[in-house]
Amino acid sequence: MSSFFKNILAVAAAVSLASCATDRSFGGAAEVEVTDLEELPPPSGGVFYTIGPQEKLEIEVVGSEVLSGTFLTDESSRITFPLVGELEFAGQAPSAAARLIEEGLRGRYVRDPQVRVIPEEFPPPSISVGGQVNQPGPYPAIGNQTLLRVVNQAGGLAEYARLDDVLVMRVVDGQNYIGAYNIGAIQRGNYPDPQLYPNDIVMVGDSPTRRRIDNLLQFVPLLSSSAIIIDRLGR
């Protein structure tokens, strides 16, 4: 299995994912390795743009017009390049994609290949925020972005957000990392606000308990002055 498809779940100091009736376990898949990293590693080399699916790439093999041309990545960010075959560019910077083509050509077809990979469009760097926030979507990754700042930009936590179930996903050198955070503890200053980088993905979890209680309250008789609900199902 290639390193790109192997995930690492980084259980940082800000984690609080207690086991409950609702299955909130993590790291159970065979390809996931759980580790006690204090924080997610930052992207290396300042590479913030990576190739994705359905992207048009202008690929030039210096001195070979036959091999040069325009290519479109498929839904899995792959292309089929002449003489080399299928190449996977998911999560790769253009320079890394060029090196993959050079390695495939070197020696057998071209003595010392020089390749340039130029995307047709460079989308602005962004951080994707989803789950239980009021305005999910991509947000500009400009300046010193942190988890709290990005969540605030996304309209803040939604009504049913689960504070101790916030994930940050990041790819570093082709390796997938997932950090689990307790944003409630971060808000109280118990843990540092983690730095975020372009292409990070933030997912805020859902609290089934709060949804369940709200649903139960709809059926409490209006004549009752108060209601006590004992939740025996856990979160």
Which CATH topology does 3-41+127-206 take? Answer: Outer membrane lipoprotein wza fold like (3.10.560)
Residues of the chain with CATH 3.10.560.10: 3-41+127-206
- pLDDT of 35 reads 66
How far apart, in whole angstroms, are the C-alpha atoms of residue 169 and residue 10? 10
CATH number for the region 56-119 comes to: 3.30.1950.10
Please state the pTM of the whole predicted model. Answer: 0.61
- pLDDT of 177 reads 87
Residues of the chain with CATH 3.30.1950.10: 56-119
- pLDDT of 143 reads 79
- pLDDT of 205 reads 92
- pLDDT of 152 reads 95
**pLDDT string in tens for the chain (235-residue length):** 343 334 555 544 444 443 334 455 555 565 556 666 677 888 876 656 788 899 999 999 998 899 999 999 999 999 999 999 999 998 788 888 999 999 999 987 888 899 999 998 877 788 999 999 999 999 988 878 999 999 999 999 999 999 989 999 988 877 888 888 999 999 999 999 999 998 899 999 998 776 666 666 666 555 454 544 444 444 4
